[in-house]
A and B are shown apart, each in its own frame.
Chain A
Amino acid sequence: MAKILETTNLVFNGKLYYPDISINRGSIVFIQGPSGSGKSTFLRLINNMVSPSEGKILYNDVDIEKLDSIGLRRKIILAGQSIYLFNDTIRNNFIQFHKYRETQSPKDREIKEYLNACCIDFSMGISCENLSGGEKQRIFLAIALSFKPETLLLDEPTSALDSSTADCVMTNIVDYCKQSGITLIVVSHDTTLADKYGEQIINFGGIENEWNSFY
Chain B
Amino acid sequence: MSGIVSISIQRFFVIYLLLSIVLVIMKKSNIDQTRLLFVASMRMTVQLVIAGFILTYILKNPHPAFTIGYLVAMIAFAIHRVLSKNKELNLRFKIAIGASLSVSGIAVVLFFVIAIVNQNIFNPQYTIPLSGMISGNAMTGVNLGTKTFREIVDSERSKIETLLNFGAKPQHILLPFVNQALETAILPTLNSMVGMGIVSLPGMMTGQILSGTLPTTAILYQIAIMIAICTVVCLSVFGSLYFGYQTLYNNRNQINYLL
- Bitwise, B144-166 to A at CB < 8 A (1) or not (0) is 00000000000000110111111
Given known A84-B158, A100-B172, contact A73–B164 (CB-CB < 8 A): yes
- The residues of B that contact A147 with a CB separation of less than 8 Å are 166-167
Residue among B166, B169, B172, B254 having the largest count of chain A Cβ atoms under 10 Å: B166
Nearest CB to that of B173 among chain A residues? A100
> Which positions 184-213 of chain A face chain B at CB distance < 8 Å?
none
- The residues of A that contact B252 with a CB separation of less than 8 Å are 48, 51, 65, 69
- The residues of B that contact A77 with a CB separation of less than 8 Å are 165-167
- The residues of A that contact B163 with a CB separation of less than 8 Å are 84, 97, 100
> Which positions 72-98 of chain A face chain B at CB distance < 8 Å?
73-74, 77-80, 82-84, 97
CB of B168 closer than 8 Å to a CB of A: yes
Given known A73-B166, A101-B167, A147-B167, contact A82–B254 (CB-CB < 8 A): no
- Bitwise, B19-56 to A at CB < 8 A (1) or not (0) is 00000000000000000000000000000000000000
- Residue tally, chain B, CB below 8 Å to A: 16
- Bitwise, A122-154 to B at CB < 8 A (1) or not (0) is 000000000000000000000110010000000
Nearest CB to that of B157 among chain A residues? A82
- Residue tally, chain A, CB below 8 Å to B: 24
CA distance A144 to B159 in the complex (A): 14
- The residues of B that contact A82 with a CB separation of less than 8 Å are 158, 161-162
CA distance A190 to B173 in the complex (A): 33
Kindly provide the distance from the CB of B176 to the nearest chain A CB, expressed in whole angstroms.
Answer: 10
Nearest CB to that of A155 among chain B residues? B165
Kindly provide the distance from the CB of A37 to the nearest chain B CB, expressed in whole angstroms.
Answer: 21
CA distance A38 to B167 in the complex (A): 22
Pick the contact of A48 from B166, B169, B173, B254 — CB < 8 Å?
B254
Nearest CB to that of B250 among chain A residues? A51
| Interchain CB contact under 8 A, B167 and A70 | yes
CA distance A123 to B94 in the complex (A): 48
Nearest CB to that of A78 among chain B residues? B165
CA distance A198 to B162 in the complex (A): 25
- Bitwise, A39-76 to B at CB < 8 A (1) or not (0) is 00000000111110000000000000100011101100
Kindly provide the distance from the CB of B159 to the nearest chain A CB, expressed in whole angstroms.
Answer: 5
Given known A82-B158, A82-B161, A84-B161, contact A49–B166 (CB-CB < 8 A): no
CA distance A48 to B254 in the complex (A): 8
Residue among A51, A70, A82 having the largest count of chain B Cβ atoms under 10 Å: A70
A-B contact count (CB 8 A): 59
Provide the main secondary structure of the chain B interface: helix
CA distance A196 to B167 in the complex (A): 30
Kindly provide the distance from the CB of A47 to the nearest chain B CB, expressed in whole angstroms.
Answer: 7
| Interchain CB contact under 8 A, A69 and B166 | no
Nearest CB to that of A51 among chain B residues? B252
| Interchain CB contact under 8 A, A74 and B167 | yes
| Interchain CB contact under 8 A, A49 and B173 | no
Nearest CB to that of B170 among chain A residues? A70
Given known A47-B165, A82-B161, contact A69–B173 (CB-CB < 8 A): no
Kindly provide the distance from the CB of B175 to the nearest chain A CB, expressed in whole angstroms.
Answer: 12
Nearest CB to that of B168 among chain A residues? A100
- The residues of A that contact B162 with a CB separation of less than 8 Å are 80, 82-84
CB of B253 closer than 8 Å to a CB of A: yes
Given known A80-B161, A82-B158, contact A97–B166 (CB-CB < 8 A): yes
A-B contact pairs, 18 of them (CB 8 A): A48-B252, A49-B161, A51-B252, A65-B252, A69-B254, A73-B167, A77-B165, A78-B166, A80-B162, A82-B158, A82-B161, A82-B162, A83-B158, A84-B159, A84-B162, A97-B166, A100-B166, A100-B173
Interface residues of A (CB under 8 A from B): 47-51, 65, 69-71, 73-74, 77-80, 82-84, 97, 100-101, 143-144, 147
The 7 closest A-B pairs by CB, nearest first: A74-B167, A84-B162, A100-B168, A73-B167, A78-B165, A84-B158, A69-B253
Excluding A73-B166, A84-B161, A100-B166, 11 further A-B contacts by CB distance (< 8 Å) are A49-B165, A69-B252, A70-B167, A73-B165, A78-B165, A82-B161, A83-B158, A84-B158, A84-B163, A100-B172, A147-B166
